[in-house]
Amino acid sequence: MRALTPAVERGLVGLLLAFLGVNALVVARTDTPTVDEFVYLPAGHYHLVTGDLTFDPTNPPLLKMVMALPLLAMDVRADLDPRWRDNRTGWGPWVYGTRFMEMNRRRYLDAFFAARTTTIVIAVATGALLWWWTRSAATPSAALAALFLWCTQPTVIAHGALATLDMGATALVFAAFFALARLAATAERSWAAIAGALFGLGVAGKGVTLIFAPLAPLLLAAGWGGWDRARLLAFADGLVVLALAAWIALLTVYRFSGFPLPAPVLEGIRFQVNASSVGEFPAFLNGQWSQTGWWYYFLEALAVKTPLPTLMVVVAGFATAVRRRARADLWFVVPPLLLLYVLSLHFGKNYGVRYLLPALPFFFVVAGRGVEAMLHDRRATVVVGALALWQLAACVTTAPYHLAYFNELAGSADHHRRLLLDSNLDWGQDLGRLQTWLAARGADRVALAYFGHVDPGLYGLEWTLPPAAPAPGRYVVSANYLAGYPYAITYAGERMIGVRRGQWSWLDRLAPTALIGRSLLVFDVGADAARRLAAAESAR
pLDDT at 2 over 70: no
pTM of the model: 0.96
Report the pLDDT value the prediction gives residue 73, as an integer from 0 to 100: 97
pLDDT, residue 488, reads: 92
Spatial distance between the Cα atoms of 530 and 395, rounded to a whole number of angstroms: 40
CB atoms inside a 10 Å sphere around CB 369: 28
Q: What is the pLDDT of residue 380?
A: 86
The residue ranges of every structural domain in the chain are 6-31+117-398, 430-539
Strand pairing of 487-489 and 497-499?
Answer: antiparallel
To the nearest 10 degrees (0 to 180), the angle between helices 215-223 and 229-253 is: 150
1 band by pLDDT with thresholds 50, 70 and 90: low
Average pLDDT for 151-168 = 98
- Average pLDDT along the chain: 95
Nearest residue to 478 (alpha-carbon basis) of 448, 453, 454: 448
Percent of the chain past pLDDT 90, that is, above it, reads 90
Q: Strand, helix or coil at 448?
A: strand
**Coil, strand or helix at 231:** helix
Mapping DSSP onto H, E and C, the string for 319-344 reads: HHHHHHCCHHHHHHHHHHHHHHHHHH
Which of the four pLDDT bands, split at 50, 70 and 90, describes residue 379?
A: confident
Residue 400: cis peptide before it, omega within 30 degrees of 0:
yes
Query: Which among 478, 475, 484 is positioned nearest to 523, based on CA atoms?
Result: 475
Question: What CA–CA distance (Å, rounded) separates 273 from 319?
Answer: 34
- Strand 473-478 and strand 445-449: pairing? parallel
| pLDDT (0 to 100) of residue 495 | 78
Q: Report whether 169 contacts 399 (CB < 8 A).
A: no
Chain CA centroid to CA 232, Å: 40
pLDDT of residue 361: 98
Question: Is the preceding omega at residue 260 within 30 degrees of 0, hence cis?
Answer: yes
Query: Which string of b and e fits 497-516 if b means at least 16 CB within 10 Å?
Result: eebeebbbbbbbebebeebb
Q: Residue 43 in contact with residue 64, Cβ under 8 Å?
A: yes
pLDDT, tens digit, 9 for 90 and up, residues 480-528:
999 999 999 998 877 789 999 999 999 999 999 999 999 999 999 999 9
Which phi and psi angles does 429 have, rounded to 5°? -85, -10
What pLDDT, in 10s, does the model give residues 460-486?
A: 999 999 999 999 999 999 999 999 999
